[in-house]
A and B are shown apart, each in its own frame.
Chain A
């Protein structure tokens, strides 16, 4: 990646699972990405405000405690409202309670406007490779 890439990272809602968040920050920074880490218990508004001020390329949302659907819904719409409607939105963690059919979960979050949806246990490297690809594609579009 030649241009500085900035990613806003955080664990959404009332979720306090902090460990994965720190691993993601480390992995992103290691690849030269500028990480704006909101930490745990981040609100949708905080994600958006941070992305606007920092001119971020993507928002990475984590949800571990099972309330992902409720917490993540509406973020894309709010981004559109705030003028960053085409920012990349990734989400991962334990998005729903228990073991549910992954394809259904993925479809649900895709419909909510997330560009990429990751199952539990995803390695950061996989998502970082996706990010590189997605950003290249975006440049191509312009």
Chain B
């Protein structure tokens, strides 16, 4: 029996799963607290101790989001153009974008970047043959700073030589790659993503103390979000004779952030529409740092709006909606990050928060269809991806997986539940649950055994239906 051991080292838990690659099954899984501060291997060893037979596994691979994940600062010129392109490249590599900067960096911004504790700086600006002065200014500012992080130059190729020289003379670690936006609005994120991935393997793992896992397993090979993105791609596009599902959307609601991954072209689904803006990557990931169920519960509530939340609670027949009790639960969520809802009321609030996190995160991920009234009648402009006809929406993340009504959470993202009619959100997709929380593990495995990992994940992705709520308020 051929086995694969897949490990996800998160900031709170280290999760291990053991797959049987012959029968395409999950054999066992376990989890233990992550202890990055002292030694990742302690958490890992604990998780492994509960998994019988792991030593025999043919593959022993890990991904990690511990120690804050892979943290990147993105720098560009115009906010909607190269700054956005740099951000998308970083997100596509599975990183966390701490902040995006545009135009000429100021001394204050350099100070802020120095404080930010990022792992990599991605420097863009200018199309090829376009503006040079801005990126050269920013290179000088970085050269004059104390920053010691690796810098990736992914801007105007005509300015590359000068940028590299400036940074090399200041003894900065500098890598050069293709422009994230070589032509106006043309996104070219693959080269930058590749350099980020390589740096993650060669440097960041070491720096975060994650290389010690090699004593137990083969090593950490990617950031966890990159593994999820890989799984998304695999499920959508298939592998050889094993068919994929086609275009899909994955929503990953976590304690700190909500991630949305779409594998879809997003092109207009109706005729006569003018599609504008930056080209959309087929594989697109967005991360919402203010929409999380625990660490970010308060900012999530802010984004929802207290009135809306009250209305929603009332709509579900919950009388005490203006009162203290849910406010209390919200506050305690931020402190008690491993909170698991117990009472029916707690479950309901948790589900409602999740539903709104899904709704808002998807609202920011999808495109918009704007109507412009002309003397000839209305014309339409689409910005971003049209995901209205997406067939599958997959929910993952602890909150969805552990909630007794995951469909209620996922439904929040549907077009009919969005509060803006111009949003191009999915209209009538099938709602699917990653019920064993396996997407990251499967994405990891996909690098070595794509066919098997696709067969496995298809088994564990289950269609879900809406359930009612009991009311005990």
- A contact set with B: CB distance below 8 Å: 4, 6, 14-16, 34, 36, 39-41, 45-46, 49-50, 52-56, 65-66
Q: Please state if B274 and A53 are interface contacts (CB–CB under 8 Å).
A: no
- Contact A14 B130, CB 8 Å, known A49-B81, A53-B184: no
Q: Give the CA-CA distance A49 to B77 in the complex, in Å.
A: 9
B window 386-404: CB within 8 A of A: none
Q: Please state if B131 and A53 are interface contacts (CB–CB under 8 Å).
A: yes
- Contact A50 B379, CB 8 Å, known A55-B129, A55-B132: no
Q: Give the CA-CA distance A27 to B373 in the complex, in Å.
A: 31
Q: Please state if B276 and A46 are interface contacts (CB–CB under 8 Å).
A: yes
Q: Could you jot down 15 A-B contacts, CB within 8 Å?
A: A14-B373, A16-B379, A34-B129, A41-B274, A45-B80, A49-B81, A52-B81, A53-B81, A53-B130, A54-B126, A54-B129, A55-B126, A55-B131, A56-B130, A66-B375
Residues of chain B lying within 8 A (CB to CB) of residue A6: 129-130
B window 58-114: CB within 8 A of A: 77-78, 80-82
Complex: chain A residue closest to B104, CB-CB: A83
Residues of chain B lying within 8 A (CB to CB) of residue A41: 274, 276, 372, 379, 381
Contact of A14 among B78, B181, B184, B374 (CB under 8 A): B374
Asked if B127 is at the interface (CB within 8 A of a chain A CB), the reply is yes
Nearest chain A CB to B176's CB is how many angstroms away?
Answer: 19
Residues of chain A lying within 8 A (CB to CB) of residue B127: 53-55
Q: Please state if B129 and A4 are interface contacts (CB–CB under 8 Å).
A: yes
Q: Give the CA-CA distance A73 to B375 in the complex, in Å.
A: 19
- Contact A53 B374, CB 8 Å, known A36-B184, A41-B276: no
- B contact set with A: CB distance below 8 Å: 77-78, 80-82, 125-127, 129-132, 181, 183-185, 274, 276, 372-376, 379, 381
Q: Please state if A50 and B184 are interface contacts (CB–CB under 8 Å).
A: yes
Q: Give the CA-CA distance A34 to B81 in the complex, in Å.
A: 19
Q: Please state if B131 and A54 are interface contacts (CB–CB under 8 Å).
A: yes
Q: Give the CA-CA distance A34 to B184 in the complex, in Å.
A: 12
Complex: chain B residue closest to A49, CB-CB: B78
Complex: chain B residue closest to A36, CB-CB: B184
Nearest chain B CB to A74's CB is how many angstroms away?
Answer: 18
* Nearest 3 A/B pairs, CB to CB: A54-B130, A55-B131, A55-B130
- Contact A14 B379, CB 8 Å, known A40-B274, A55-B131: yes
Complex: chain A residue closest to B124, CB-CB: A53
Residues of chain A lying within 8 A (CB to CB) of residue B82: 53
Q: Give the CA-CA distance A39 to B381 in the complex, in Å.
A: 13
Residues of chain A lying within 8 A (CB to CB) of residue B126: 53-55
* Additional 15 contacts, C-beta under 8 A, given A50-B185, A65-B374: A6-B129, A14-B372, A16-B376, A16-B379, A41-B276, A50-B184, A52-B77, A52-B78, A53-B77, A53-B81, A53-B125, A53-B127, A54-B127, A54-B129, A55-B131
Residues of chain B lying within 8 A (CB to CB) of residue A46: 276
Complex: chain A residue closest to B85, CB-CB: A53
Q: Give the CA-CA distance A39 to B277 in the complex, in Å.
A: 12
Q: Give the CA-CA distance A20 to B97 in the complex, in Å.
A: 42
Nearest chain A CB to B75's CB is how many angstroms away?
Answer: 14
Q: Please state if B375 and A65 are interface contacts (CB–CB under 8 Å).
A: yes
Residues of chain A lying within 8 A (CB to CB) of residue B276: 41, 46
Of the candidates B77, B81, B126, B184, the one having the most CB atoms from chain A within 10 angstroms of its own CB is B184
Residues of chain A lying within 8 A (CB to CB) of residue B125: 53
Residues of chain B lying within 8 A (CB to CB) of residue A36: 183-184
Q: Give the CA-CA distance A34 to B129 in the complex, in Å.
A: 10
Complex: chain B residue closest to A84, CB-CB: B131
Nearest chain A CB to B195's CB is how many angstroms away?
Answer: 21
Of the candidates A15, A36, A39, A52, the one having the most CB atoms from chain B within 10 angstroms of its own CB is A52
Complex: chain A residue closest to B103, CB-CB: A83
Contact of A53 among B78, B372, B375, B379 (CB under 8 A): B78
- Contact A49 B80, CB 8 Å, known A41-B372, A65-B375: yes
Q: Give the CA-CA distance A65 to B77 in the complex, in Å.
A: 33
Nearest chain A CB to B268's CB is how many angstroms away?
Answer: 14
Nearest chain A CB to B370's CB is how many angstroms away?
Answer: 10
Residues of chain A lying within 8 A (CB to CB) of residue B376: 16
Residues of chain A lying within 8 A (CB to CB) of residue B185: 50
Of the candidates B129, B130, B131, B381, the one having the most CB atoms from chain A within 10 angstroms of its own CB is B130
Residues of chain B lying within 8 A (CB to CB) of residue A45: 80
Q: Give the CA-CA distance A41 to B374 in the complex, in Å.
A: 11
Q: Give the CA-CA distance A15 to B375 in the complex, in Å.
A: 10
- Contact A52 B129, CB 8 Å, known A41-B372, A41-B379: no
Residues of chain B lying within 8 A (CB to CB) of residue A16: 274, 374, 376, 379
Residues of chain A lying within 8 A (CB to CB) of residue B181: 53
Nearest chain B CB to A37's CB is how many angstroms away?
Answer: 9
Nearest chain B CB to A117's CB is how many angstroms away?
Answer: 23
